[in-house]
Amino acid sequence: MNLAVWDPFREMEELLERYGKSSRKALTKTDDKSFEINDWTPVVDIYETEDNFMVKAELPGVKKEDVSVNIENGLLTIKGEKKSEVEDKKHHRVECTYGTFIRSFTLPQSISEEKIEAEYKNGVLHLTLPKVEEAKPNQIEVKIK
């Protein structure tokens, strides 16, 4: 008689893997087996300083010319494409994600659009979105008599 150790985390991982496959796209078919990839969504950090909103988007493997940033009516949109470099080879495993992506974020306050700065270095997009003067917090000192 063999005893098996029950691992609830392994069961959860298998369940999540099975659930996730339903939303995957087939990349290529060979011998009735599909290589599948997830839809790609790059990770983004957004934080606020007194004068700016700061956005950091990690876009590994995406070329600078394949990224666009738009701001319209308080909606920041980052979109682009990560292109596959090897398409005509026999794939044994595909874990890297490729394809187009789009991320949109509503900005809570008005921004000075003409002063926006963007820097793209080593696959990381940094945006500095300056607040308009009236959107900056105003602190008033209260004197107690």
Considering the entire predicted model, what is its pTM? 0.64
Quote the number of domains for the chain.
1
The reply to whether 50 falls in a domain is yes
- In this structure, what CATH number is given to the domain that contains residue 35? 2.60.40.790
User: Do 129 and 55 form a contact (C-beta atoms < 8 A)?
Assistant: yes
Quick: pLDDT tens for 79-106. 999 987 766 778 788 778 888 899 999 8
- The full DSSP string for 56-88 is EEE-TT--GGGEEEEEETTEEEEEEEE--S--S
Given a cut of 50, whether residue 115 has pLDDT beyond it is yes
Q: On the CB side of 6, how many CA atoms lie within 13 Å of its CA? A: 1
Predicted confidence at residue 40, as pLDDT, reads 78
State mean pLDDT over 139-143: 79
Closest CA to 67 of 79, 75, 77: 79
pLDDT digit string, tens, across residues 31-48: 444 444 446 789 999 999
> What pLDDT, in 10s, does the model give residues 60-81?
999 999 999 998 888 899 999 9
Which tokens go with 64?
A: 């600078």
| Alpha-carbon gap, residue 47 to 132, rounded angstroms | 16
- Please name the amino acid found at residue 137: P
pLDDT, one tens digit per residue, over 46-57 is: 999 989 999 999
DSSP symbol at 17: H
The whole-angstrom separation of Cα 56 and Cα 128 is: 9
The pLDDT value given to residue 17: 74
Full domain range(s) for residue 113 = 29-135
Residue 53 maps to a domain: yes
Within a domain: residue 106? yes
Average pLDDT taken over every residue of the chain: 80
